[in-house]
């Protein structure tokens, strides 16, 4: 939580000064994004991965029944600050957490992964296993 708190309160980004990189850390608001954030995630996804990975309509997720839902999900505050662009200003833990938040944020507005079962099987003493492999 200390690392997340630093990302929320602000990290020195050179000439830009201290910048809060993530929104308030409300854990029960996981799925909810505002309209502007959904557009930002879709734009970041299209820029990074291409239009083929975007669904026709934005993804919406249901909240849990007992969630207070007063805040948006934890997300980057600036959609143009991808992890690589600010890596030099972050310590190892800040970078790892910011990258996780960024990737989950962008992925929330992408099409579901397509997997296919492919490749080798390994026969153990009592089991046969087959691991899925991601489709390119």
**Are 51 and 31 contacting, i.e. CB atoms less than 8 angstroms apart?**
no
In angstroms, the Cα distances linking 95 to 59, 71, 91, 92 are 26, 24, 6, 5
Task: Say which of 24, 49, 53, 78 is annotated catalytic.
Answer: 24
Strands 115-117 and 132-134: antiparallel
Has 24 been annotated as catalytic?
yes
- Measured from the Cβ of residue 16, the count of other Cβ atoms closer than 10 Å reads 12
Residues tagged active-site: 24
């Amino acid at each position: 939580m200390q690392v997340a708190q630093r990302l929320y309160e602000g990290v020195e980004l050179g000439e830009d000064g201290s910048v809060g990189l993530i929104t308030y850390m409300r854990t029960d608001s996981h799925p909810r994004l505002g309209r502007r954030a959904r557009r930002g995630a879709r734009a970041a996804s299209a820029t990074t991965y291409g239009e083929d990975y975007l669904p026709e309509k934005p993804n919406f997720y249901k909240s849990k029944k007992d969630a207070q839902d007063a805040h948006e999900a934890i997300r980057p505050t600036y959609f143009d600050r991808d992890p690589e662009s600010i890596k030099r200003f972050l310590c190892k833990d800040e970078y790892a957490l910011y990258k996780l938040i960024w990737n989950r944020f962008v992925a929330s507005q992408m099409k579901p992964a397509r997997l296919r079962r492919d490749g080798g099987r390994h026969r153990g003493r009592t089991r046969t296993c087959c691991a899925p492999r991601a489709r390119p």
